[in-house]
Structure 1
């Protein structure tokens, strides 16, 4: 899984969830460090729904102890978390 492609996909999913036209535009490359609240106007319920969508789409599990501010509110943090889980799956199945 390519990191840049994953980040783009995470933005597209988040943008598709927003109700405001102001937040529907996918940010430019390198804008992944702003929070989901700042970028897309997510509420805490939106963030939870987003995580559930990501769990299903990418076949990952967001463990309670891993739900840090960095992981929850940053596209970069989410991408790192998803990629780390995927690398862990590959390593453990080898």
Structure 2
């Protein structure tokens, strides 16, 4: 899957969790999941669990930074890095 397709899918999953109700358009600036979809911290953790299962990745505790937890771009980078066997490059 290419980066653009992955980002689209990440937005679709997030929108599905909130029944499509979001505060900003997907991809608008570098808005966080909280800003775009109104995610609470529990929503963000549920989202990560869904992503782990769907993309067969593991979000390691030490990699759960603000960027990874709240940024679609950061999530896409993390997932792509894990799927290609690279170390996460978010620090």
Question: TM-score range with shorter-chain normalisation?
Answer: 0.7 to 0.9
- The alignment covers a number of residue pairs equal to 86
Q: Distance in 1 between matches of 2:24 and 2:15?
A: 6
SS in 1 for 2:59: coil
> Greater CA deviation, 34-43 or 80-89?
80-89
Q: What is the deviation of 1:35? A: 0.3
**Deviation beyond 3 Å, 4+ runs, structure 1:** none
Structure 2 segments unaligned to the other structure (5+ residues) = 87-91
Structure 1 segments unaligned to the other structure (5+ residues) = 90-94
Larger RCO: 1 or 2 (CA < 8 Å, sep 6+): 1
Q: Distance in 2 between matches of 1:25 and 1:12?
A: 14
Kindly name which structure, 1 or 2, has the bigger radius of gyration based on alpha carbons: 1
Could you say if the C-alpha distance between residues 11 and 76 of structure 1 is closer, same or farther in structure 2, counting changes exceeding 3 Å? same
TM-score when scaled to structure 1?
0.83
After superposition, the CA RMSD in angstroms is 2.0
Higher helix residue share: 1
1:38 aligns with one of 28, 35, 40: 35
Q: Distance in 2 between matches of 1:73 and 1:50?
A: 10
Q: Within 5 A, what are the aligned runs for 1:1-94? A: 1-19=1-19, 22-23=21-22, 27=26, 30-31=27-28, 33-88=30-85
